[in-house]
């Protein structure tokens, strides 16, 4: 039992390390952006914001799109911009640039409650779209449009993610040592000490492969539904982002590789321990 507890703690430490790595390397933020920009309500809000800023810029140059009879064309152009691959790429670039700020805001205790947003410079994109509206072509080359703010993570989700982030950091900082302490206890109380480490490694490998197998057959949505609070819970919110479906294959490969190494090492050590036991007889 001591060995299983120690192995479980080490596996949970590894899981927290993988989840935090997904946050720190931008996987979580990229998944959040992809999810947001595939939601019609979100892209409609962004399109409205783009239209408002672009119209204000054009008005400063004395151009009224409605009076010019191209209001609907301009609105359609901005709607297409908000759902375009190039706009998504620009948002992702801004998220990458703000990655250190994301980590800081996740871990800062005194951060005021609110969403995580990035500002996207849309001047070039707006000018390119407006060039398709021939009536407005000459004016677009000199216009400057105020950046649009994109809400990458909503305020409620971000607050829950901050709580989960602190718990994951605690697990990464303590669970490995706690697991090793249980293994040391197992060595101290066991009458067959030479088998403790091999059994521990085999247990770690088996548990890791079990987790990899679960991830192979379950989507991130299914996994979050199994956690306390489901998809709306603190852990579910973070897991849904850090274990996004497009990130699962890489996570499974990492777990499978680590599990295989642990099983091989444990098996070899078990054979050595048995050989040493026979030799002593």
What are the domain boundaries of the chain? 2-24+159-280, 28-154
pLDDT confidence bin for 227, thresholds 50/70/90: very low
Report, as an integer, the average pLDDT of 43-63.
Answer: 80
Is the pLDDT at 134 greater than 50? The verdict is: no
**pTM higher than 0.85 for the full model?**
no
Name the one residue in this structure whose structure tokens are 């302490």: 181
User: Residue 38's beta-bridge partner residues?
Assistant: none
What is the rounded average pLDDT for all residues in the chain?
75
Specify the pLDDT at position 183.
82
- 27-43 per-position pLDDT tens digit: 777 777 777 777 788 88
Is the pLDDT at 230 greater than 50? The verdict is: no
Specify the pLDDT at position 221.
53
- Residue percentage of the chain with pLDDT more than 90: 0
- 233-261 per-position pLDDT tens digit: 444 454 554 455 555 666 777 888 888 88
Specify the pLDDT at position 217.
66
Residue with the larger pLDDT of the pair 59 and 67: 59
- 100-111 per-position pLDDT tens digit: 888 888 888 888
Query: Mapped to the 3 state alphabet, what secondary structure does 214-273 carry?
Result: HHHHCCHHHHHHCCCCHHHCHHHHHHHHHCCCCCHHHHHHHHHHHHHHHHHHHHHHHHHH
Specify the pLDDT at position 10.
86
Name the one residue in this structure whose structure tokens are 């992702």: 92
Is the pLDDT at 277 greater than 70? The verdict is: no
Nearest to 151 by CA among 221, 209, 98: 98
Q: Where are the alpha helices (DSSP H) in 131-154?
A: 137-140
């Amino acid at each position: 039992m001591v060995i299983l507890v120690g192995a479980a703690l080490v596996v949970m430490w590894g899981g927290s390390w993988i989840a935090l790595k997904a946050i720190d390397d931008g996987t979580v933020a990229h998944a959040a952006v992809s999810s947001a920009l595939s939601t019609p309500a979100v892209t409609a809000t962004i399109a409205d914001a783009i239209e408002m800023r672009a119209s204000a810029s054009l008005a400063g140059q004395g151009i009224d799109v409605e009076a010019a009879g191209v209001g609907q064309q301009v609105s359609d152009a901005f709607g297409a911009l908000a759902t375009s691959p190039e706009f998504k790429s620009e948002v992702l670039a801004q998220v990458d640039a703000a990655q250190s700020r994301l980590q800081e805001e996740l871990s800062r205790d005194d951060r005021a409650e609110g969403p995580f947003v990035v500002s996207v410079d849309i001047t070039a994109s707006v000018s390119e779209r407006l060039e398709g509206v021939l009536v407005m072509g000459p004016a677009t080359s000199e216009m400057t449009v105020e950046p649009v703010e994109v809400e990458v993570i909503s305020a409620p989700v971000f607050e829950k993610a901050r709580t989960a982030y602190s718990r994951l950091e605690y697990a990464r900082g303590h669970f490995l040592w706690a697991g090793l302490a249980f293994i040391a206890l197992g060595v101290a109380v066991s009458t067959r000490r030479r088998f403790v480490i091999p059994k521990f490694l085999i247990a770690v490998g088996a548990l890791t492969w079990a987790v990899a197998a679960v991830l192979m057959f379950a989507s991130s949505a299914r996994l979050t539904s199994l956690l306390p609070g489901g998809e709306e819970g603190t852990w579910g919110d973070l897991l849904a982002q850090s274990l996004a479906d497009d990130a699962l294959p890489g996570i499974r490969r990492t777990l499978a590789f680590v599990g295989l190494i642990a099983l091989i090492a444990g098996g070899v050590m078990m054979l050595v321990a048995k050989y040493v036991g026979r030799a002593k007889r």
